[in-house]
Amino acid sequence: MTEQEIKALVSLLDDDDKEVLLLIEKEIRQQREFIIPFLENEWEGAGFNPKVQHRIEELVHEIQFEVLLERLSNWHNGGAIDLLEGLWIIATFQYPDLSLEKLRSDFEQFYYETWLEFKEDMHPIDHIRALNHVFFSKLKFSSNTKNFHSASNSMINIVLESRKGNPISLCCIYMIVAQRLNLPVYGVNLPNLFVLTYKKETVQFYINVFNKGLVFMRSDIDHYVAQLNLKPSDSFYQPCSNLDIVRRVLRNLTLSFEKMGDNDKVKEIEQMAAILQEPLSE
């Protein structure tokens, strides 16, 4: 579709005929994300027509959300292998222009900072101490206790910029860097708290990244679960999948927007979560 044809379509967005309007919007949506820059230009030119501007805003959001759902479905059906990609897709819900390549570049820098102080023959606990030193002392990551329920805690790009996050976002960053260093570090789905585990052969211990990388043992989880009056489950002790992690990030986002009273966003996140519950395609 040419730029002139797009302009002609946009000019019809102030039509009061609902049937005509539905046809125009359908035609625009079929152009997918490639039409968004043109729509944004037309939005600026429609400054004296707030009705058209509002319809353009809605169309841009609908197209971007459809692209997000498609990416999420492809990630899920592809085996949810790349955690960073999954977190990027979630972040594009709020930041549709976010670059995955930029995120990968940031993580490469974190990896390099850690690698400088890393020796392969270290004891596992010393590996974690070295990682803690870089993560908390050098890179200045910390817990976002003041705005614990903020949606920004689930946006990987904002956590990277602010160096503040909730338990799961901090754990994800820590884990991606650790695995880049070939450390057997994985996520663990504890109730009310997401933590990490170092697990290799006969060695297993746990890491509370939200508490500055505190190392603890299985007996501490036993005590924690008992305090919550919960029945012990294998999932409280063993690594979870990338899919489990992204599902939990979405649950946190749902809670954030519920607290804000933003029901439209809650409904959209529920659509995202539903995709991750679907059986894998054959």
pLDDT tens string 154-208: 999 999 999 999 999 999 999 999 999 999 999 999 999 999 999 999 999 999 9
165 assigned to some structural domain: yes
Mean pLDDT of the 223-244 span: 95
Residue 104 and residue 27 share a domain: no
Looking at the chain, the whole-number percentage of residues with pLDDT higher than 90 is 70
> Strand pairing of 164-165 and 142-143?
parallel
For 25-49, write each residue's pLDDT tens digit. Answer: 777 777 667 677 777 766 665 556 6
* Structure confidence at residue 11 (pLDDT): 66
pLDDT digit string, tens, across residues 86-102: 999 999 999 999 999 99
Q: Output b/e per residue, 70-94; b: 16+ Cβ within 10 A.
A: ebbbebbeeebeebbbbbbbbbbbe
- The verdict on residue 45 lying in a domain is yes
Q: Which two tokens stand for residue 32?
A: 């997918």
User: Same domain, yes or no, for 34 and 156?
Assistant: no
- pLDDT per residue as tens digits for the range 99-118: 999 999 999 999 999 998 88
Q: Encode pLDDT of 181-193 as tens digits.
A: 999 999 999 999 9
Indicate whether 99 belongs to any domain: yes
pLDDT at 47: 59
- With respect to residue 89, please indicate whether it lies within any of the assigned structural domains: yes
Same-domain check for residues 260 and 242: yes
Percentage of the chain surpassing pLDDT 70?
89
Work out the pLDDT band at 50, boundaries 50, 70, 90. Answer: confident
Query: Do residue 202 and residue 136 come from a single domain?
Result: yes
Task: Give bridge partners of residue 187 from the DSSP assignment.
Answer: 196
Q: Do 114 and 253 belong to one domain? A: yes
Reported confidence tier of residue 225, pLDDT bands at 50, 70, 90: very high
Spell out a b/e string for 186-206, using b for 16 or more CB atoms within 10 Å of the CB, else e: bbbbbeeebbbbbbeeeebbb
- Taking the C-alpha atoms of residue 87 and residue 107, their distance in angstroms, rounded to an integer, is 13
Same domain, residue pair 193 and 235: yes
pLDDT at site 20: 67
User: Could you list the residue range(s) of the whole structural domain that residue 257 is in?
Assistant: 83-275
State the pLDDT at residue 59. Answer: 82
Domain boundary among 77, 93, 111: 77
In this structure, the answer to whether residues 73 and 92 fall within a common structural domain is no
107 and 124 co-located in one domain: yes
Residues 222 and 112 in one domain: yes
pLDDT digits (tens, 9 = 90+) for 268-278: 999 999 999 97
The count of other CB atoms within 10 Å of the CB of residue 243 is 18
Residues in a beta bridge with 216: 206
Say whether pLDDT at 123 is over 70. yes
Distance of CA 172 to the CA centre of its chain: 10
Kindly report the average pLDDT of the chain as a whole number: 89
Contact 6, 35 (CB under 8 A): yes
> Is there a domain that residue 282 lies in?
no
165: Cα separation from own chain's centroid:
12
Domain count, the chain: 2
Last-in-domain residue among 13, 42, 77:
77
Please give the model's pTM, rounded to 2 decimal places: 0.87
**Is 196 inside any structural domain?**
yes
